[in-house]
Structure 1
Amino acid sequence: MKSVIRAGVLALLCAGVAQAATVRLTYEGMSDWESGVAVTGTGSFQTKPSVNVGAIGLSDLISFDFTFSFSYKGKVDTFQYDLSSLSCPPPFMGSECGFSAVLSATGVDALELATDTVDARFNWDQRLIVFGLDDAITANPDMPPLSSGTMTATLVPDDGNTVPEPAGLALAGLALGAGMLASRRRAR
Structure 2
Amino acid sequence: MLQVPVILNVNENPYPPAPEVIASIRDAVTEAAGTLNRYPDRDFGALRKDLADYLAIESGVRIPVDEVWAANGSNEVMLHLLQAFGGPQRTVLSFLPTYSMYPEYARDTLTAWVTAPRRPDFTLDPDDAARQVRKVRPAVVLLASPNNPTGTALPAEDLVTILEAARGGGPDGTDAIVVVDEAYGEFRREGTPSALERREEHPHLV
The question of a shared fold, defined as TM-score above 0.5 by the shorter chain, is answered with: no
TM-score, normalising length: structure 1: 0.25
Query: Who wins on radius of gyration, i.e. which is larger?
Result: 1
Q: Which has the higher contact order (CA 8 A, sep 6+)?
A: 1
Question: Greater helix percent: which structure?
Answer: 2
TM-score, normalising length: structure 2: 0.23
